[in-house]
Amino acid sequence: MIIVTGGAGFIGSNIIHALNKQGEDDILLVDNLTNGHKMHNIADLNIADYMDKNEFIEHLENPNFLTQIRGVFHQGACSATTEWDGHYVMANNYEYSKRLLTWCQTKNVPLIYASSASVYGMGEKGFSVDRNCEKPINIYAYSKFQFDQYVRRILPRTNSQIVGLRYFNVYGSREQHKGSMSSTPFHFNNQLLASDEVKLFAGCDGYADGEQQRDFVYVNDVVAVNLWFLANSHQSGIFNVGTGQAQTFNSMAQAVVDWHKRGKISYIPFPEHLKGAYQSFTEADISGLRTAGYEREFMNVQQGVTDYLSRLNHRA
């Protein structure tokens, strides 16, 4: 059996979808379905069982809980970067992860977990997996950073696989439940359908209008990295997951306009409350991923958006 926590969420449900395509359905899906709309992410998936997150955490104290587990994809977390309840975030993202890691180590089960590129903060020192580059600026990022630090301390004395994946700006299918936290192409698509117009922030921090850059990575590529590590259980460590090539918001908006073959791009004033607290540039250093042996090429914005919008608008 394979366990996927956060299995009804964005990346978790895509991992299960990919596992199903490989013929794998002996899957335990763990999640919190307080937001019942997330069921739309999993209605087409085949799993062996569902378990509520809190019940799952309680069972982790039982050494006889589950046997013959091939691996755990730990995607479950409070992913809202706007959440400032530190007790809540640390309980969900740090303590939960530590308990699951301890259970996996006890049973010699591979753990592949979601970290975040938010650990790099404003990115003044770059985006390499290096302590000198890491300076989280919100409690979500700190919770991810601190679990990475915990993993770093125990990695030298562990036998079973532990992999932390620092996701950059992920976009793709099964993200509609995230609301304001959904990706830019999701919002751009909705804007264009509603008004024939895609709205971007005007320039800031020395960048021209819409020329701020992010490392946008398609969810299918993120899933492929996760599955590769499960198949290569001799590899452990913390790795960036991005394309390694920053692209502008203008290029993302243009890809949406090009797909629809209509619409225009306009610019709105840069929000005052974001000035000085906005990542104008991110770009993953994926040298560690390549050194580990991952060779597959990543889709660029034009390729990823074309595939995504065909699915989002039901033309695939």
Could you give the percent of the chain with pLDDT greater than 70?
A: 99
Residue 300 lies in a domain: no
Sorting pLDDT into bands at 50, 70 and 90, what band is 315? low
Shared domain check, 132 and 61? yes
Q: What is the CATH number of the domain that holds 258?
A: 3.90.25.10
Total domains in the fold of the chain: 2
- pLDDT score, position 270: 92
Residue 182 lies in a domain: yes
Give per-residue pLDDT as tens, 260-297: 999 999 999 999 888 777 889 999 999 999 999 999 99
Shared domain check, 231 and 146? yes
Shared domain check, 139 and 53? yes
Report d(CA 4, CA 9) in Å as an integer: 10
Per-residue burial over 184-218, b if 16 or more Cβ lie within 10 Å, else e, is: bbbebbebbeeeeebebbeebeebebbbbbbbbbb
- pLDDT score, position 53: 96
Shared domain check, 126 and 52? yes
Residue 271 is part of which domain span? 176-213+246-280+306-312
Share the mean pLDDT of the chain: 95
Shared domain check, 250 and 239? no
Shared domain check, 154 and 34? yes
- pLDDT score, position 131: 97
Residue 301 lies in a domain: no
Which residue would you say has higher pLDDT here, 162 or 76? 162
Give per-residue pLDDT as tens, 203-239: 988 899 999 999 999 999 999 999 999 999 999 999 9
Give me the sheet containing 27-31, strands edge to edge: 49-52, 27-31, 2-5, 71-74, 111-116, 162-167, 237-241
Residues that are catalytic = 140, 178
Report d(CA 78, CA 316) in Å as an integer: 31
Shared domain check, 187 and 100? no
Shared domain check, 238 and 94? yes
